[in-house]
């Protein structure tokens, strides 16, 4: 067994004009594929630890030292991207009544949540991700991580994530990360977010 690159759950051009087809090809076929290849290379050195990346990344100290950073980078890269593809859709969706109410209770309003998420995505210096997570207390929280670090390693369950590496937006948006963040809100798959929220609570 090895970790396999999952297919996109929609066509490469399905998220146009918000996320362009060329970016989706490069991002999925090249970048994500490289994480898959590299995490498999690392895991092959230690077959005894298995391939359950969520479990391994929830306790990074459990990963043998000689492959630890490779698994954090490439295993995280695989998990983050596999989730990211599912968190987008060309369909129009909106949060469930329960999630919408909890977002309002936590952040004040949906617009306040959007502002907090946008700020996390905008101010993440260099490469990384912005997240909406369920934290250890079972509460919603906006956060961000560097590189391919996953909130799972902090004991948090990601339910929405945005890749803010330049490879995610530079083809279409050039240096304008804020425009890409704004566009992302037009393609969020709230049905998937609802599912993850229900499972995390
Ligand atoms: Fe990416």
Give yes or no for a contact between 189 and 91, defined as CB atoms under 8 angstroms apart.
yes
- Measured CA to CA, the distance from residue 43 to residue 121 in angstroms comes to 31
Global confidence as pTM: 0.97
Coil vs helix vs strand at 124: coil
Both tokens of 37, joined, read 């290849």
- Measured CA to CA, the distance from residue 66 to residue 187 in angstroms comes to 39
- Measured CA to CA, the distance from residue 90 to residue 73 in angstroms comes to 29
Element (H, E) at 159: strand 157-163
The reported pLDDT for the residue numbered 174 is: 97
- Measured CA to CA, the distance from residue 16 to residue 12 in angstroms comes to 9
Distance 101 CA to ligand 1 centre (A): 30
Distance 81 CA to ligand 1 centre (A): 6
Provide block-wise average pLDDT over 10 residues at a time, the chain (201 residues): 95 98 98 98 98 98 98 98 98 98 98 98 97 98 98 98 98 98 98 98 89
The reported pLDDT for the residue numbered 128 is: 98
The reported pLDDT for the residue numbered 158 is: 98
The reported pLDDT for the residue numbered 130 is: 98
Element (H, E) at 22: helix 21-25
Distance 105 CA to ligand 1 centre (A): 31
Residues composing the chain: 201
* Partners of 131 in the β-ladder: 143, 161
The reported pLDDT for the residue numbered 96 is: 98
DSSP letter at 149 equals -
Distance 28 CA to ligand 1 centre (A): 8
Distance 179 CA to ligand 1 centre (A): 17
Give yes or no for a contact between 192 and 87, defined as CB atoms under 8 angstroms apart.
yes
Give yes or no for a contact between 127 and 165, defined as CB atoms under 8 angstroms apart.
yes
The reported pLDDT for the residue numbered 88 is: 99
Give yes or no for a contact between 127 and 152, defined as CB atoms under 8 angstroms apart.
no
Give yes or no for a contact between 133 and 157, defined as CB atoms under 8 angstroms apart.
yes
């Amino acid at each position: 067994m090895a970790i396999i690159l999952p297919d996109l759950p929609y066509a490469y051009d399905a998220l146009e004009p918000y996320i362009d087809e060329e970016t989706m090809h490069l991002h999925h076929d090249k970048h994500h594929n490289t994480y898959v290849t590299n995490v498999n290379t690392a895991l092959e050195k230690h077959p005894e630890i298995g391939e359950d990346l969520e479990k391994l990344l929830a306790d990074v100290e459990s990963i043998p030292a000689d492959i630890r950073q490779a698994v954090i980078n490439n295993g995280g890269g695989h998990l983050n991207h596999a989730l990211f593809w599912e968190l987008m859709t060309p369909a129009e969706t909106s949060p469930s009544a329960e999630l919408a109410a909890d977002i309002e209770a936590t952040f004040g309003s949906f617009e306040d949540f959007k502002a907090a998420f946008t700020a996390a995505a905008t101010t993440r210096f260099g490469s990384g991700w912005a997240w909406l997570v369920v934290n250890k207390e079972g509460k919603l929280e906006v956060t961000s991580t560097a590189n391919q670090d996953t909130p799972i390693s902090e004991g948090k369950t990601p339910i929405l994530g945005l890749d803010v590496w330049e490879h995610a937006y530079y083809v279409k948006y050039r240096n304008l990360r804020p425009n890409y963040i704004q566009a992302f809100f037009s393609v969020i798959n709230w049905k998937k977010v609802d599912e993850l929220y229900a499972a995390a609570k």
